[in-house]
Structure 1
């Protein structure tokens, strides 16, 4: 389970709408206690797919950021250090699905299953669907012991 406030959810939705029709992405800082992840801060980041694509073996086209995302390694390390300095961890990665459901891409045939190799157990993967520029359904996913995505409950906190 992951616990987020309305403010955190709104930050994710606003970032997703601002990058439409491209995918947005970002990191979520917090802590884990008793198998529950509690969000402290949402950190929107730039979708660096076209910059980082060569390193991931991906294509670089004008359409690629509409169906894929990457967080630049130097951004990930900087935020990880900032989190550690505050006794927090990166507990989740979020991104949007422009004009697609808020489910892992492999479930709708958009991305090959090998993309799960870039996902890590222990993290929550929050996906927000953005239909025609408006953020809608938001779901969280985590990887099980067989490296399969499973739905994860979201609890709203105040």
Structure 2
């Protein structure tokens, strides 16, 4: 990056501190420039979200080269969520640590987060992401993503899993039918909407793979608390 771009990124990080800043590096009329964007994250767990309209406005200016955001009070080293999101964006990323101003740059390289031990980041590394990743890696099946805001299960109206499972090949498994590897177990865990808000994959030997809110993804024995929270079991049926 050009020094003027680096200076602009650091100035933006300083102005937004202690919040995360975010923006885009663009080439417009043969010149590189930094375009600061509004961080539209709903909660601290979202970290940063660049609004779709801001990205579109940047594309109107020129070619978008990179995504930028800051890491307040920590290093510029990318998190698992940063690496996953970078892969999805197809763009180079620059992370600036603030205070300090150190910048770490990286690009898509084929990174995949581990199925077990991944850190939670809603919409990037969460329970639905884990279900999708398991199906992609174990079955070669690509399940469509679901647009979702953090804490959607407390907004008084949303029922995302039950509203979307049929379109993604899920059929309800009758009560009492033995579980099969790959079955998706929907649970309700402290949902003010009273709807399923947590998904796990049955992986055999009485175990599930899942990723609870703000925790690491893990394997657990299915039963007890998890069985009590279960509201339905879905089975993927190819169309």
105 and 74 in structure 1: CA distance in 2 versus 1, 3 angstrom threshold = same
User: Are 2:108 and 1:143 equivalent residues in the alignment?
Assistant: yes
The structure showing larger relative contact order (alpha-carbon pairs under 8 Å, at least 6 residues apart) is: 1
Structure 1 residue aligned with 2:84, among 112, 116, 135?
A: 116
Deviation at 1:5, TM superposition (A): 1.6
The alignment of Structure 1 onto Structure 2 pairs a total of residues equal to 112
Give the corresponding residue for 1:17: 14
Offset, 1:119: 4.2
| Other-structure match for 2:69 | 95
Alpha-carbon distance in structure 2 between the residues aligned to 1:127 and 1:77: 21
| CA apart distance, 1:135 | 3.6
1:147–1:90 Cα change, 3 Å: farther
Gaps of 5+ in 2: 114-239
Residue matched to 2:59: 80
Q: Is the 8 A contact 1:30 1:40 kept in 2?
A: yes
User: CA shift at 1:41, angstroms?
Assistant: 1.0
What residue ranges of structure 1 are gaps of 5+ in the alignment? 32-37, 51-59, 84-88, 149-158
Residue number in structure 1 paired with 2:97: 129
Larger relative strand fraction: 1
Give the superposed CA RMSD: 2.6
Distance in 1 (alpha carbons) for counterparts of 2:74 and 2:59: 30
Question: How high is the TM-score relative to the length of structure 2?
Answer: 0.42
Structure 2 distance, partners of 1:12, 1:117, is: 20
The secondary structure found in structure 1 opposite 2:5 is helix
TM-score (norm 1): 0.62
Seen in structure 2, the aligned counterparts of structure 1 residues 43 and 139 have a Cα distance that, compared at 3 Å, is same
Bigger CA radius of gyration: 2
- Which aligned pairs between 1:49-68 and structure 2 lie closer than 5 A? 49-50=41-42, 60=43, 64=44, 68=47
Distance 1:13 1:117, change over 3 A: closer
**In structure 2, do the counterparts of structure 1 residues 146 and 95 end up closer, same or farther at CA, with 3 Å as the change threshold?**
closer
